[in-house]
Amino acid sequence: MDWTMILGLVAGICTTAAVIPQLWKAWKTKKVTDVSPGMFFVLITGLALWTVYGLLQSDWPIIITNGLALCLNSLMLYFLFKYD
């Protein structure tokens, strides 16, 4: 594994993990009044496009991290509608 793949994985892990505290808070408190659904729609669209790009390039760090981030942010969007 070369340094660029490691760099890509670390960057992807950081951006993927960024939503976890918000997910945890929304799940525990059932409050999402200060969270913007529009931002999550845009973010999910971008993550889906990055995942497709990764698939087209056969770039596993992009596929894995953006695919996981897509799932986590989609869960947050679900919480926005469920708890609103």
How high is the pLDDT of residue 25?
A: 94
Q: Which fold has domain 3-83?
A: Monooxygenase (1.20.1280)
- CB-count exposure of residue 51 (10 Å: 0-12, 13-18, 19+): buried
Q: What is the pLDDT along the chain (84 residues), one digit of tens a residue?
A: 789 888 988 998 999 999 999 999 999 999 998 889 999 999 999 999 999 999 999 998 899 999 999 999 999 999 999 998
Q: Kindly report the backbone phi and psi dihedral angles of residue 3, in degrees, each rounded to the nearest multiple of 5, phi listed first.
A: -65, -30
Give the pLDDT score at 8. 86
pLDDT value of position 38 = 93
Domain ranges for the chain, please list them: 3-83
What is the pTM for the complete model shown? 0.88
